[in-house]
Structure 1
Amino acid sequence: MGKIVAAAVVSHQPGIMLPSAMRLELYGGTDTSLIAGFEEMRRELDRAAPDTFIIFDTHWFTTINHILAGAAHYKGLYTSEELPEFLSDFPYDYPGAPELAATIAKAGAADGIRVLNYDKTNIPLHYPTINLVHYLRRNEKILSIGTCQAAQCHNFLDMGRAIAEGIAQTDCRVALLAAGGMSHSFEPMDTMLAHMAPDPGLVASAEAREMDIEVLKRWADGDHAGVIALYPKYRQLNPEGFFGHYLMMVGALGGPRCMAPGRRMSEYENAAGTGQVHVWFDVAA
């Protein structure tokens, strides 16, 4: 019987892929804490010993269905269409998790959830997946899942439940990695470069920053029911990917019944006006 052995909300902000000297120049001499956070997270992953990562990708937007990247292998050169100056011709080469993808799709369909397993390699990849694979993968298989832009809170939670059901029907040991930020409003183009440093005071608005901090407090307490209840208000502050990465992850952990406490593995930071953090959830609790 398969098992979820780890879960985390993980920042993928593109600056992490720059050389350290370029980051320091971009950030005005103060580097991001996210890099060290990846090292701490990898140590926890070593303890949990997953054989598969499910990555909820907040840049892969779907429209009608939840979609799984279910091919057996992915290999190529990645260039970001958004920020080629940050990430271009980057090599990737990793195994997929086709059996798990097919099982999740079947479990979702049985529950009346609109889910599609796309098992060809020609689907575009996105840097939330690429960046997490770069920093966190050792030998694990990778299953990326898109973010349906038409989904509401209950749709994301339902998809998470189907993911858990699918995992249980396999022998996989799975780490759920919700690849995305918190509040996600960018600074205007004219002022953005003056707001790149990690200082959380540079997050786009005081309201967004305060809501991010409220969510972080609830995560620390294991109050996922409270975070889900806050979702309508939080959605108005534009969390990345409609917060679908978190909602699918927590849906797989039991939705509002989940009480896994969260531990920060980075500082809460700014990136061009957006809120960024790594948070590890103790699924054993």
Structure 2
Amino acid sequence: MGKIVAAAVVSHQPGIMLPSALRLELYGGKDTTLVAGFETMRAALDRVRPDTFIIFDTHWFTTLNHILAGAPHYKGLYTSEELPEFLSDVPYDYPGAPELAKAIAAAATARGQRVLNYDKPNIPLHYPTINLVHYLRRDEKILSIGTCQVAQCHNFLDMGGAIAEGIANTDCRVALLAAGGMSHSFEPLDTIMDHMKPDPALVVTAEARDMDHKVLECWERGDHAGVIALYPAYRAHNPEGFFAHYLMTVGALGGAGCKAVGRQMSAYENAAGTGQVHVWFDVAA
């Protein structure tokens, strides 16, 4: 019987892929804490020994279904169409998790959910997946899951439940990695380069920053019901990818009944006006 052994909200902001000297130049001499945070998270993953990562990818938008990247293997060079100056010709080469993808798709279909397991390797990848693979993967299999742009809160939570059921029907030890930020509104083009430093005071509005802190405080208490209750108000501050990465993760952990306490593995930071953080959830407890 498969098991969820780890869960985390993980920032993928593209600046982490720059060499350290360029990061320091971009950020005015003070580096992001996210890179060191990946080392902390990898050490935590080593303690629970997952064999598979499920990455909820907030840049992979789908429309008619929740879609799983269920091919046996992915290999190539990745260049971001959004930020090629940050990510260009990044190599990737990793095994997929086709049996887990099939099990999740079967569980979701049986629950009446709209789901598609796309099992060919030619589907475009996105940098939330690429960046987490770069920093966190050792020999784990990778299953990326998209963000259905027409889904609502309950759809994401329900999909999380199907993911947990599918995992239970395999022998996988799974880490759920919610690859995305918090509030996610960018500064205008005329001023965006003045807001690149990690200083959280540069998050686009005080209201967005305050809402991010409310979510962080709920996570610190293990109050996931509180985060779900905040969701309608939070949407006004554009949490990245409709917050689908978190909602599917917590759906797999029991939804509003989840009590897993969150522990920050980075500072809460700004990136071009958006809120960014790594938070590890103690699912073992």
TM category, shorter: over 0.9
The residue aligned with 2:137 is: 137
Show structure 1 runs of 5+ residues with no match. Answer: none
The residue aligned with 2:220 is: 220
The residue aligned with 1:192 is: 192
Distance 1:27 1:221 in 2: 32
* Per-residue deviation, residues 156-185 of structure 1 (Å, max 9, x unmatched): 000000000000000000000000000000
Return the TM-score normalized by structure 1. 1.00
The residue aligned with 2:181 is: 181
Distance 2:64 2:235 in 1: 20
Return the TM-score normalized by structure 2. 1.00
The 5-angstrom pairing of residues 116-155 of structure 1 reads: 116-155=116-155
The residue aligned with 1:20 is: 20
Distance 2:130 2:178 in 1: 13
Distance 1:250 1:129 in 2: 19
The residue aligned with 2:209 is: 209
Distance 2:215 2:34 in 1: 19
Distance 2:238 2:86 in 1: 24
Q: State the secondary structure of the residue aligned to 1:42.
A: helix
* Per-residue deviation, residues 23-47 of structure 1 (Å, max 9, x unmatched): 0000011100001100000000000
Residue 5 of structure 1, CA deviation: 0.1
Q: State the secondary structure of the residue aligned to 1:236.
A: helix
* Per-residue deviation, residues 120-167 of structure 1 (Å, max 9, x unmatched): 011000000000000000000000000000000000000000000000
Distance 2:56 2:209 in 1: 23
Residue 211 of structure 1, CA deviation: 0.2
Distance 2:28 2:257 in 1: 43
The residue aligned with 2:80 is: 80
* Per-residue deviation, residues 87-108 of structure 1 (Å, max 9, x unmatched): 0011000000000000100000
When the two structures are aligned, how many residues end up with a matched partner?
A: 285
The residue aligned with 1:10 is: 10
The 5-angstrom pairing of residues 1-285 of structure 1 reads: 1-285=1-285
Show structure 2 runs of 5+ residues with no match. Answer: none
Residue 236 of structure 1, CA deviation: 1.2
Residue 74 of structure 1, CA deviation: 0.1
Identity fraction in percent: 82
Residue 284 of structure 1, CA deviation: 1.2
